[in-house]
Amino acid sequence: MSKQRFSGTERYVATDELMMAVNAAITLERPLLIKGEPGTGKTQLAQEIAAALQRPLHEWHIKSTSKAQQGLYEYDAVSRLRDSQLGEARVHDIGNYILKGRLWEAFESPTQPVLLIDEIDKADIEFPNDLLRELDRMEFYVYETRALVKARHRPIIIITSNNEKELPDAFLRRCFFHYIRFPDEATMRAIVAVHYPQLKKELLAEALGAFFEVRAAPGLKKKPSTSELLDWIKLLVAEDIDPAALRSGDAKKVIPILHGALLKNEQDVHLFEQLVFMHRRAR
């Protein structure tokens, strides 16, 4: 088999299951749909695959106003009309006014590219359905120039979703699917080690302890995730915090210091304070 295999990178810790999903998608040339809690490295995955396999990366970030057509191409009728008024020569070729979209760019890539379709659930509910043929056959038709655009190499397509909308069955059937589970403590250690190799052992142990404690608090609106942990550790390192200060037994510190990196809204901070308070009273 000449296909390359993905096995994580220096900066990205991939679990066995994730590697299997990615390799299956690469080998069978099918889009891979990645779901998971925010901050578990869904978007980063595509970047790391591109880096590991040394492929060009095309990113298509989806917004609520995105249309499937924008990923293929857009016809700039307004500037063509203007040009026709000014008598420009290029107006005769309609191809001059076709603006290529992300998907087209990826299709044209001389080597097999990685295409990231980020947060597909942000778009309208019909958006995935409009891309079925393009993802299946890796080709589309440009009506204005009557040309069929075909992918030179089927791109490795990574699609991420935050579960804001459910995706249609027909679309799902064409994808492979993987749900990135929240890493357990061992994986988390590996992830932190990859990002902060110089981190002191005690600080890491205390930070992870505090982090999983915060995560375990029931009813949080937004549980802190890997990216938040990494930010927090960065802060701790930057401020040169003493590991002992993180110990939750410290009665004066009700919630972990620099919690702003972990808890992202005031209700959660409030809730956590209450929980800690109740916990201490119970003791």
Partner 1 sequence: MLVNFYLALRLGGVPVSITEFLALLEALEARLAQLSPQEFYYLARTCLVKDEHHYDRFDQVFAQVFQGAEQLFTQLLASVPPEWLASLTARVFSAEEQRRVAALGGWQQLLETLRARLAEQQQAHRGGNKWIGTGGTSPFGAHGFNPEGIRVGEGNGGAKRAVKVWERREFRNFDDGVELGTRNLKLALRKLRRFARQGAAEELDLDGTIDATARNGGMLDIKLVPERHNAVKVLLFLDVGGSMDEHVRVCEELFSATRSEFKHLEHFYFHNFIYENLWQDNRRRFEALLPTERVLRTYGHDYRAIVMGDATMSPYEITQPGGSIEHWNTEPGAVWLQRLCAAFPRLVWLNPEDPQRWDYTPSLRITRQLIGERMFPLTLAGLDLAIRELRRPFTAQGGATPGAGATFVTQGPAAGVP
In this structure, what token pair is assigned to residue 274? 């209450």
Q: Which stretch binds partner 1 (CB under 8 A): 22-30, 48-56, 108-116, 232-240?
A: 22-30
The residues pairing with 282 across neighbouring beta strands, listed in sequence order, are none
Per-residue binding letters, 88-107, with partner 1 (x by CB under 8 A) = --------------------
Which residues lie closer than 8 Å to 262 by C-beta, 6 or more apart?
A: 211, 214, 224, 228, 229, 232, 256
16 binds partner 1 per the rule CB under 8 A? yes
212 binds partner 1 per the rule CB under 8 A? no
How many chain residues interact with partner 1 (CB under 8 A)?
35
Which of 7, 61, 63, 77 touches partner 1 by CB under 8 A? 77
Q: Which stretch binds partner 1 (CB under 8 A): 18-26, 210-218, 242-250, 252-260?
A: 18-26
**Long-range contacts at 195-201 (CB < 8 A, ≥ 24 apart):** 195/11, 195/230, 195/233, 196/230, 196/233, 196/234, 196/237, 199/233, 199/237, 200/243
In this structure, what token pair is assigned to residue 66? 């995105």
Q: Are 215 and 244 in contact, with CB atoms under 8 Å apart? A: no
176 C-beta neighbours (distance < 10 Å), count: 18
168 binds partner 1 per the rule CB under 8 A? yes
Judged by beta carbon, residue 182 or residue 196, the one nearer partner 1 is 182
Which of 164, 185, 202, 242 touches partner 1 by CB under 8 A? 164
The CA–CA distances, whole Å, from 177 to 24, 36, 41, 119, 165 equal 10, 11, 15, 14, 16
125 binds partner 1 per the rule CB under 8 A? yes
Residue 75 one-letter amino acid: Y
How far apart, in whole angstroms, are the C-alpha atoms of residue 257 and residue 245? 8
Q: Are 132 and 174 in contact, with CB atoms under 8 Å apart? A: yes
How far apart, in whole angstroms, are the C-alpha atoms of residue 15 and residue 61? 25
17 binds partner 1 per the rule CB under 8 A? yes
Which of 14, 33, 46, 246 touches partner 1 by CB under 8 A? 33
172 C-beta neighbours (distance < 10 Å), count: 13
Report the chain's C-alpha Rg in angstroms.
24
250 binds partner 1 per the rule CB under 8 A? no
How far apart, in whole angstroms, are the C-alpha atoms of residue 261 and residue 271? 16
Smallest separation, CB 166 to partner 1 (Å):
4
Which of 99, 147, 172, 193 touches partner 1 by CB under 8 A? 172
Which of 6, 8, 21, 238 touches partner 1 by CB under 8 A? 21
147 binds partner 1 per the rule CB under 8 A? no
23 binds partner 1 per the rule CB under 8 A? yes
Smallest separation, CB 134 to partner 1 (Å):
17
Judged by beta carbon, residue 81 or residue 244, the one nearer partner 1 is 81
Our measurement of the distance from residue 103's CA atom to the centroid of its chain's CA atoms, rounded to an integer in Å, reads: 18
146 binds partner 1 per the rule CB under 8 A? no
Contacts to partner 1 by CB under 8 A:
1, 16-17, 20-21, 23-25, 27-28, 30, 33, 35, 77-78, 81-82, 84-85, 125, 164-169, 172-179, 181
